[in-house]
Amino acid sequence: MDSFFVEVERLGRPDLRGRPVAVGGVGGRGVIASASYEARGFGVRSAQPTAVAMRLCPQLEVISPAHSRYGEISARVFELFRSVTPMVEGLSLDEAFLDVSGLKKHFQSPVIIGETVRARLRSELSLPASVGVASNKFIAKLASEAAKPNGLKHIPSESQLHFLHALPVEELWGVGPATLAGLQKLGIVTVGDLAMVPEPTLIRNLGPSQGSHLLALASGIDSRTVVPDTASKSISVEETYSVDLEGRSLVESALLAHSQQLAQRFRQAGLGARTISLKVRFADFTTVTRSRTVAHVISQARDLYRVGLDLLASVPDDQSIRLLGLGGSSFEPAEAPGQISIDDGDAWHRVGDAVAEVQDRFGVSALKPARLLGDGRERVPGTDPDKSD
């Protein structure tokens, strides 16, 4: 998908079309998550500090991320993909591999399949996408990048080396800054240069695994198959705060907000979790994690908060907190039997179901714990469900 977060925002705001737009944090520590192609023309890019982006493009409109909305639209995108072929392997919210080799009797060529997918995304979801068509995952990925924005590029098998060898060597998967420096010392600039280097030389300079891996890619070899997606392995909510959290009371309020958001995501997925995990990053960037596996599947905010508090109790409280996250794994269907504790009774679960029904209809902010309303004396973090990472 092209500039996915930005394009989802444009669905509800046509006035943003044709303008430099970015989605990201707007505070002092804000970072760009997605930039429109108009903004990229000014040098704005993802993972860039928002302050730098604003200096490069003063007219840039920066929108706070609405992650729940992006997840909702992503689910519709993948539903469309799976209506074309069940062989869909997701890479992220907005990117996937589709194995269309089983559709030869239904379409004249894979290019027509790619154009069909793009046309349906535009007509059914009003979203642009770029498609790469090739004989393996590696070349298809590179072709999709070459097709951006809003295009399709087909690399036939007989042309893939010509296409590949002209690319800068840093386009290869696994070439980071350190590997790139090592390759440049050998005089390697393009993928074609790499393909000409004897394997023993690469192994001697990069190691056996990396040397052989990069040489295979430079030869257009990628034997990986498309592995259809399985059920989610984890669902989490986390937030990096523009102002560090100080004091256990404020941290607990943030954890409560996370519990509400996580429960909503569980509800949308129809899942409950047996393992709950807490992630804390302190101001000095030290990160600690804690997890607990409970006896029975849980999915309601009240239960998630209780486990989260227990995990938080084992985390040092002598430093301010930069990031807080709460997540679940070891999933089962949400309707799986659960253990109701003596002090809860069934009433709390009925209350939770009623709150969820209201939030699903009117939004998460329609009902929330009183603690998250604040009293004007301290900022209650994480109360906006669209501010989680």
- 3-class SS of residue 108: coil
- The whole-angstrom separation of Cα 100 and Cα 81 is 11
CA atoms within 13 A on the CB side of 360: 13
In this structure, the number of other CB atoms found within 10 A of the CB of residue 305 comes to 22
* H/E segment holding residue 164: helix 160-165
Which of 61, 95, 115, 170 is an active site residue? 95
- 3-class SS of residue 334: coil
Which segments of 186-320 does DSSP mark as H helices, in order?
A: 191-195, 199-206, 208-218, 248-269, 301-312
Decide if 333 contacts 272 (C-beta within 8 A): yes
- The whole-angstrom separation of Cα 63 and Cα 36 is 12
Q: How big is the chain by its Cα radius of gyration, in Å?
A: 24
Q: Of 258, 290, 160, nearest to 217 (Cα)?
A: 160
The C-alpha angle 209, 99, 174, rounded to 5 degrees, equals 25
User: Does 95 qualify as catalytic in the annotation?
Assistant: yes
- The whole-angstrom separation of Cα 262 and Cα 333 is 15
C-alpha torsion 179→184→189→193, nearest 10: -90
- The whole-angstrom separation of Cα 195 and Cα 193 is 6
- The whole-angstrom separation of Cα 157 and Cα 139 is 10
Task: Just list the catalytic residues.
Answer: 95
